[in-house]
Amino acid sequence: MGRIVCVVEGLNRRGEPLMRILALQNVTDLLGKLAASNRLEESVYAPQVAVVSCGAGKSSFLPCPCIDLGLADTNVGAHS
């Protein structure tokens, strides 16, 4: 298994994190797991690359003023 990098690029129109998932392996299985609990917004570009939007606008990152839009209702902002 290679490394997986999930890049949070911004927020979509519903305020959900818009992410690009990069992997050195086929991400089909990973997307299947994500689909079980999250909505997948955009299509998979290639077996190793997917652009998805996940969750309900919440992030588990520590809030950081440099990278946090502060738009979420809770203290845990969605990151940009």
46, 18, 3, 76: CA torsion to nearest 10: -170
User: Residue 67 in contact with residue 10, Cβ under 8 Å?
Assistant: no
Minimum CB distance to another protein, residue 27 (Å): 12
CA–CA gap between residue 5 and residue 1 (Å, rounded)? 13
Minimum CB distance to another protein, residue 61 (Å): 4
Establish if 37 lies at the interface with another protein (CB under 8 A). no
Site for another protein in 41-70 (CB under 8 A): 60-70
Q: How many residues bind another protein, per CB under 8 A?
A: 38
Establish if 11 lies at the interface with another protein (CB under 8 A). yes
CA–CA gap between residue 45 and residue 37 (Å, rounded)? 21
- Binding site residues, another protein, CB under 8 A: 1-13, 15, 18, 20, 22-24, 60-73, 75-77, 79-80
